[in-house]
Structure 1
Amino acid sequence: MATAVQKITLSSSRDIPFNKLVLSQSNVRRVKAGVSIEDLAASIARRGLIQSLHVRAVLDGEGQETGMFEVPAGGRRYRALEMLVKQKRLNKTAPVPCVVGTTDSGILMEEISLAENDERVPAHPLDQYRAFQSMRDKGMAEEDIAAAFFVDVNVVKQRLRLASVSPALLDIYAEDGMELKHLMAFTVSQDHARQEQVWDTIRNSWQKEPYHIRRMLTETTVRASDKRAVFVGVDAYEAAGGIVMRDLFESDDGGWLQDIGLLDRLVSAKLTTIADEIATHGWKWVEAGVSIPYGVTHGLRAIKGVPLDITAQEQATRDALQEELDRLTAEYEDADELPDEIDQRLGEIEVAIDALDQRPVRYDPDEIAIAGVFVSIDSDGSLCIDRGYVRPEDERPVEAADGDAPEEEVDPETGEVRSPAVQRAVITIGGEPVRTEEDEEDDGLKPLPERLIIELTAHRTLALRDALATNPQVALTMLLHKLASDTFRHTAPTGCLEASVRHLYLSGQPEEMKASAAAQSENDRHDRWGDHVPADDQALWDWLEQLDDGTRLDLLAHCVSFGINALFERPNPHAASGISRHGLDVRLAQADRLAVATGLDMVAAGWKPTVGNYLGRVTKGRILEAVREGAGERAAQLIGHLKKGDMAKEAERLLADTGWLPEPLRMSDGVAGDDAQPVSQDGGDADLPAFLADDSEDDELSEPEDEEHVALVAAE
């Protein structure tokens, strides 16, 4: 026979006039916590009484109800209502929603009071964020949201900042898979894929403190406290279109600058402007850089300058400052602590006196003509200028006896001493010469800019990855070669395969790479594999064991391809992350061998010379050389008279379908392959536009039939 379940009867609810309520002495809450009574009263005035009071009838000595009710649970709400009554904002007989408990239940009022407070669960931060987000989506301003909940507006901004976190991570947090401090650390980045990648990396690691998450998310950025950022100014960086990542939850010293390439360009431009101004003072050379290597002045002769005399006005200013300094020092000599304004003034006086004592230096003009200047950025982001160094090759020869002028300074026709030529300072930024308008007009061949070589080899690295990923046997051979080298040749250089395999991110590279065929192929292939690779470690092992050999080789080739590094780097074996000259040679030689083995053709991979990726960034001599090799001598001659900008645009058209490649994208001299760069001959001239073509009807300009006497005429 089944036992009947005892049914629960809930207490009834009804409206009771406020003046019939009294606060119970059984209320357990004594310590003030949470929202203040004033804020709670304002909330009731705005939203009404959201939660009813729990009351019990007050009995007289004979156990009869007196018509009054005491409040054991809801004392703060009662006090808030009481405040509204005193403020004449609520009628003292206004009905109050109440749940009326029975007096004979046997449950003590203290138990009810404690349970009512103890069982109250604060809102989850994620629920708070979603509520704030919903209110903002409906048009409510952040300030209004903060005012409605009596919190600082920064609290609202911080909660809303959680919108920048991946929804997948929000779900993990909602299920207690991570702590709030971890979730807040992810807000420094807007890249959801990178956030999820970082979490997958550290989720089972002991090292998952918030600072570690922030460091991983900002490893390809520059802190705003970096001396380059301080030198340029974050405002100037943002004005140029740069993006700054900021952490609203923690102190971030100004945030992180995402576009390192833009920052470096701004630094270079500012250093160039400063170097140009210094060069106008007659120095032979100016070498500028973010940092000047230690010991760079070794072997150079430092010229000495004469400090300029202080003027009467400057001396009077210094005397007045010194007098004020002495007076304030004597006045506050016995003070335990200086007032803030006095301390600030003393600092200002000391700085002003120091500036007057650091006298400008005058150098001998003859010495300036053979000496140079180093310009760099100090550790605090300030400008550092070190003047007056003479290189050994610039030292003047011993003067001729009897005051005779050297032979090369005497005009052989007139016998007079030639006037000295006006010297133009040679300016270098980061070791690379700064181009001037005169340099741009120079038709001679010059070395390709280092930055351009890095970008070109980045294109090749991406194409090599794609080629290797579709050649599993080559990938297997290369991986075994790397592993065997590491096992049996412990001193072997790394080469072009990072066989960890560690994904080498090609940050700071041209935007066009993202839209290239190789990049699209790599992304599509990675997405296809990602749909099948299990996330669990044991499941991944079991899955790999079940794959057939062909599929395993395909996956191996895809994974190995992410370790390809065929980038050109400036050799710097003394830095922690530097590469030696030998190591760079090995890397590039292996890249050539890999290109031959995979049959890589950079033309087929989609690279072609444009104004943006090559022609607009080299000298006119380089442009003409490219056109000469790709489109023929005649085409080169007919654009030779154009200004550089027009020449680059026309060269882009002429080379569009020729398959011409610059040196960094060709095979090195010691490697032969099917993709070796052909050099076009004169017979391969591309069609020229009407304004460049030799279509004159003048008999004197027409081309004779005899090819040995062809006369080329350039457009005027």
Structure 2
Amino acid sequence: MDIKVPLKMLKFGHEDGEGINARVAGRDDGIAALAANLNANGQIENLVVKDAGDGFFSVANGNRRLAAFRMMYGEGADQPIGCTLHQVDNDKAFEYSLTTAITAEQLHPVDQYEAFARLEEHGKTEEEIAQQYGMAHKQVRQALALGRLSPMIRNAWRKGEIKAEVAQAFTLAADHQSQDKLFKKLVKENDLDRHSIRAELGVKPNEDIGVLVNFVGMDAYRARGGHVAEDLFKEQHIVSDDVLLKAMVGERLAKECDRLVVDHGWQWAAVEADLPKSWRSWPTTRVDVEKFFTPEEEVRAKELAKRADAIEKAEDYDWEAEQAIGAQIDALKASVMPRAFSDKQKAKLGCVVAVDGDGNLEVQYGINRPPAASASEAAARSPTAGEPPEIKSPAKKTGKAAEPDLSQALIQRLSVQLTIAAETALIQDPDLAISVLLAKFASNMNTDGIQASVNGLGASKLDLLGAKKFADNLELARALKPAARVELLVLVAGAALNFQRFSSNDDNLLKGNPGLICDAIKPEAMNSALRGAFDSKDYFSSVPKALSLAAIKEALGADIARQQEKNKTPEIAAFAIANVPPTGWLPESLRIKGYDGPPVKKATGKLASARPKKPAKAAAKKPAKKVAKKPAKKK
């Protein structure tokens, strides 16, 4: 019998005697979303109830809807609720609850996402869908993206032929045609997984593109002419111009440096990537931020500490919850940190800015940057906002002066050049190449310097047999002569190398396995390959003036280095680029055990122009003409 019951006269089934509600877990889950839906669409289905006496009714089926109604109208409201009354005892009412819970099947995810897409087609906005179904805006965008997948992808998902993560990866493809084409290709190659899809679509797994896009803002990047294929699930977006993206990151960080100096009174501020590796050892002034909490912040801090303590002591310890609370505590302290320093302290100290792993601005305050030891070192420093002009008074010479540090960005580029050179030289020695490969396969999984699953820097250029499927490659490999197989294995060994270093704290590129491999290669081959891979223009344009002068001194002599000291940094760099590489000079980071360049060898011949305005080509023509005349006279 269908009846209308005032909300205040309805009781939860689990509160009635022995309890007639079979659901225990998840009773309170998603009530807000359910309330939003009921508010938008009204009550569609009656609650199933039994008479509980004294005018009250107990709910056998619909207890979560009852909770939603109470959220909407209040527990003591007279709002009439549609119910279906069954005159049954507690046992039968419990069976009704259990039967409904077990037999009520949830929509398949594909059906749910298609339904959301249909709502959009009928004019519902993302905001309206989010409000109506109690979903976060990002959840709605994810659901709509999945609902818009091509019918081919959706059917494969519905049939269980692909997993949810595979379907999610296809949302990065531009349209249905692109999705279907890629799906057919990867099915044919038996390579249909999330990683392969993303690789085909251009996702670079080793770059934090998503982090950088989050930092500059997707709208801002698009406004500058960039295009983004947004990854709603892993945030590994695809961008059309990563050079533009990184330039925008640099611009924002530079503006932040200016703001810290001009608006907040810090003596200096610098981008972390521009600093030498030694900056982390610079003195840092510590402050107790808790002393600077406002009353409201103090209450908030105590509340968070209490929650963290409760999580730690709970029997069912929740690591993720503890991490979330810890992040909130750190965020609170970080927001107070800038005002914990006095104006007097700021006038003497500086800040270092960077992008954190979530795409947010990270600022480290209170860094005491050591003053430059000389005017030349001060001029050689990386650009910063508010750089202090202070210079240390000359100290007594007690030996070799410490050289300026290389930036972590330059260290990474040098390590790539070292890898390329080692690959070029290694494949000239088949015995060593195969030995390196065998040593890797015989060692543990994490072997520094060589990635024998062929994920090394040369992997993208490697095309061994031409097929995609293992079965086809096996057939092709078996058809090769033994010598040809050895030649291909040598190429694999070279492509498996990866000596990259990403930390400025690790500027010894030849330590560990990379050093062992490079030193084992024949020196003449390795030195030649290193000089071919070394990017002198990048190096001398990136290092401080002092390092350019040191290179000139080693390669061309102390007299020439002294002549260059009076010039500006760009002029010295241009001179070094034109004149140092022909001598065979290499930076210390690339000097193997068998290094045969300066200062071992002395430079010979005329020098190229030191002035950047005159191209190096013009300077190089003079000695070329003289060489041409001499043989003519001898004739």
* TM-score, structure 2 normalization: 0.47
Q: Compare CA radii of gyration and give the structure with the larger one.
A: 1
Q: Determine which structure has the larger helix proportion and give its number.
A: 2
* TM-score, structure 1 normalization: 0.43
